Amino acid sequence: MLQIYDSGYAAQVVADNKIPEAEPVDEPDPEAPMVGEVHKNVQVLTDLNVLEFSRLMQAMSTWVAPEQGCEFCHNPNDLASDEKYPKVVSRRMLQMTRDINTQWKTHVADTGVTCWTCHRGQAVPSGDWFRHPGEGENMQNIIGNRFEQNIAGVQAVGNSSLPYDPLSTYLNTEAPNIRVQGVTALPTGNRQSIRQAEFSYGLMIYMSQSLGVNCSFCHNTRSLAAWDQSSPQRVTAWYGIRMVRDLNVNYLNPIAPLLPKFRLSAEGDGPKVGCLTCHKGVYKPLYGQRMLEEGGHPELRGPVVRPPAEPASAAVALR
């Protein structure tokens, strides 16, 4: 289970995995009004006060649109307006971020994610993907049916002859089991096909490239299928695959109709997330730096729970 790293490649991705300086934190003000008392049409971050809300908005402009600033999402003359599609999309992305940080700790643990994890100062994060149009499932030519493979130049599968769209198969709405081999020496009872194995290897190559690791990061190569001989990272990856499916089905696919045509593929497919969207070539996004910790942005973990304004005994006495 020796893990081999390409030192030259590792050096290249260091700069891509730095985090920006955190926004200054305001002194706590128990009298600060809640955001809904000051701003209109706030639908997600209603549990923040105006100081927390303003700080997060400033951070988001750094994370997503450092050149355009607030105007990327907002009409500066009417901040409450939803006329710009990035504002509506960012609202869903905030919900998605909180969902990841609360419901998918099996994958992100307490490190969590922020907008920066994917965007890195770009309005459109790198590492998104679209359904590969291919040549049509029944495309016939002089060499017969390609069966969705043997297409040159498909980076997701390492430019190999493997099926060119394993991401749509495993990371979108479909959820077949990822299988490569049978569990017996004889074919009796083995329901796995060579075609299934090829799709599985295509996904594994994509994951390997996305994390900058080889197969032994998760598997013991003497028995790739054996869970009891695999590393703990395999369990984390198992949850990661299911997390990505959940995000694409419940967040990315539904926002596709909100996007302008230039944000869609030529076939009209909307962008989706995958392992590469967050990892960007390293085994832990941002090398595991925790942007949600104290002094960071704990509000992205979920609704902020505030202590009562007065001691419980006093509250009871006043009833």
- Note whether 20-126+284-307 and 127-279 share their fold: yes
Q: For the residues 132-153, what does the mean pLDDT come to?
A: 66
Q: Which architecture characterizes domain 20-126+284-307 according to CATH?
A: Orthogonal Bundle (1.10)
Which pLDDT does position 315 carry in this prediction?
38
Q: How far apart are CA 265 and CA 131, in angstroms?
A: 8
The pLDDT value recorded for residue 4 is 77
pLDDT digits (tens, 9 = 90+) for 161-196: 888 899 998 999 767 777 776 666 776 666 667 788
pLDDT at 312: 44
| Cα–Cα distance for residue pair 318/308, rounded to 1 Å | 14
Report the pLDDT value the prediction gives residue 155, as an integer from 0 to 100: 85
Taking the alpha carbons at both ends of the chain, their separation in whole angstroms is: 65
State whether the Cα torsion 220-225-226-227 is positive or negative: positive
Q: What is the 3-state secondary structure (H, E, C) of 182-195?
A: CCCCCCCCCCCCHH
Q: How confident is the model at residue 140, as a pLDDT?
A: 54
How high does pLDDT run on average in the chain?
86
Cβ pair 46, 36 in contact under 8 A:
yes
What integer pLDDT is reported at residue 294 of this predicted model? 64
pLDDT digits (tens, 9 = 90+) for 293-310: 866 898 999 887 666 655
pLDDT at 313 over 50: no
Q: Report CA dihedral (49, 50, 55, 57) to the nearest 10 degrees.
A: 110
Average pLDDT estimate for 16-41: 90
Over the stretch 238-265, which tens digit does the pLDDT of each residue have? Answer: 999 999 999 999 999 999 999 999 999 9
* Residue with more model confidence, 140 or 106: 106
Reported confidence tier of residue 220, pLDDT bands at 50, 70, 90: very high
Domain residue spans of the chain: 20-126+284-307, 127-279
Among 137-146, 227-236, 252-261, 268-277, the minimum mean pLDDT is found in: 137-146
pLDDT of 311 above 80: no
pLDDT surpasses 70 at 266: yes
Residue bearing the bigger pLDDT, 260 or 5: 260
Prediction pTM value = 0.88
pLDDT of res. 173: 78
Give the pLDDT of residue 309: 55
pLDDT grade for 126, boundaries at 50, 70 and 90: very high
pLDDT tens figures, 72-83: 999 999 999 999
Residues in the chain, how many? Answer: 319
**What is the topology classification, in CATH, of domain 127-279?**
Photosynthetic Reaction Center, subunit C; domain 2 (1.10.468)
